[in-house]
């Protein structure tokens, strides 16, 4: 089983990625939440072009991937779940939830640390919010995420299956909760107790500092509620709110790949640190 998963992991992930992308794209056409400011052709070419570039880069730098690290940790007997014998289902469940919590903490960290915000702001600079936003991250942030994930796996020792489940689920929920779809409000209210919904995560993409400093969860919505970063709705409403970063509104800079790749390197690091109003001010205005 583990062997089969290890062997087919890239295919499993790709299958889920394209399946979910197609599904959400059709849903966005059938029931859109907001009108886009940048054409779909430009958004898809550049955001997905970047995803393609990132995938190649990651394969090149880290051919073993997260499942490889999990298998290696198991062989060596490293990590909590390889050291203690715990029922398999419990190890899988706790691993998936724990990895999601680490992603939440990492997300708070990349907002709070000015130099890391430079990498993460490329995700936020998107002027619209749709399924392709969910996959657009700067390659340096992807590498940082992977290193944190590898460290988590070595400490935790999760079953290989848990890592695959986590990656597939996180990928699917990220595309779901970034999508430009209109969900019935009643359904959203119930659903956001179980999973981060598009209306919940859209608040995080607001140009307003306090709104962007809330709803850090990508998958499970509980961390925001437990740790005090939950915000119900944007003040200006979902149709009236502005998405992106005040300072970066030029499509050349925020919608085209070359501009996006350069975004972390604009301006001085210290200049930003001085301008910070609160510990976690992410949006420069
Ligand atoms: Zn963010
Ligand atoms: Zn996001």
Q: Helices (DSSP H) in 62-216: which residue ranges?
A: 65-76, 80-83, 88-112, 114-124, 139-156, 160-177, 185-191, 198-204, 209-212
The alpha carbon of 123 and the centre of ligand 2 are apart by a number of angstroms equal to 7
7 Cα: distance to centroid of ligand 1 (angstroms)? 33
How close is the Cα of 239 to the center of ligand 2, in Å?
Answer: 17
Q: Which two tokens stand for residue 111?
A: 């907002």
Q: pLDDT tens digit string along 43-58?
A: 999 999 999 999 999 9
pLDDT at 8 (0 to 100): 86
Running DSSP on this structure, what letter comes out for residue 245?
B
| pTM for this prediction | 0.92
Cα–Cα nearest to 201, from 276, 122, 104, 279: 104
Give the number of the ligand closest to the Cα of residue 243. 2
| pLDDT band, residue 4 (cuts 50/70/90) | confident
Could you tell me the distance, in angstroms and rounded to a whole number, from the CA of residue 16 to the centre of ligand 1?
A: 23
Counting ligands in written order, the one closest to the CA of 109 is: 1
Query: 171 C-alpha to center of ligand 1: Å?
Result: 16
Q: What is the pLDDT of residue 199?
A: 97
**CA-closest candidate to residue 201, choices 188, 254, 190:** 188
């Amino acid at each position: 089983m583990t062997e089969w998963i290890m062997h087919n992991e890239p295919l499993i992930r790709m299958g889920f990625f394209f399946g979910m992308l197609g599904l959400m794209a059709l849903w966005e056409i059938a029931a859109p939440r907001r009108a886009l400011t940048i054409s779909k052709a430009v958004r898809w070419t550049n955001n997905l072009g970047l995803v393609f570039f990132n995938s190649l880069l990651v394969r090149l730098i880290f051919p073993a991937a997260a499942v490889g690290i999990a298998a290696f940790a198991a062989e060596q007997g490293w990590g909590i779940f390889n050291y203690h014998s715990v029922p398999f289902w419990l190890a899988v469940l706790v691993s998936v939830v724990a990895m999601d919590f680490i992603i939440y903490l990492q997300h708070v960290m990349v907002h709070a640390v000015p130099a890391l915000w430079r990498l993460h702001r490329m995700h936020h600079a998107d002027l619209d919010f749709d399924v392709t936003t969910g996959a657009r991250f700067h390659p340096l942030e992807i590498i940082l995420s992977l290193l944190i994930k590898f460290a988590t796996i070595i400490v935790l020792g999760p079953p290989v299956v848990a890592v695959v489940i986590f990656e597939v689920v996180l990928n699917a929920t990220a595309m779901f909760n970034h999508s430009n779809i209109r969900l019935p409000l009643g359904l959203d209210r119930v659903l956001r107790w179980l999973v981060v919904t598009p209306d919940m995560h859209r608040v995080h993409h607001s140009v307003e500092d306090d709104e962007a400093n809330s709803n850090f969860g990508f998958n499970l919505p509980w961390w925001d509620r437990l740790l005090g970063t939950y915000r119900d709705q944007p003040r200006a409403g979902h149709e009236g709110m502005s998405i992106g970063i005040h300072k970066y509104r030029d499509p050349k800079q925020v919608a085209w790949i070359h501009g996006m790749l350069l975004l972390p390197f604009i301006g001085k690091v210290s200049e930003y640190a001085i301008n910070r109003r609160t510990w976690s001010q992410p949006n420069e205005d």
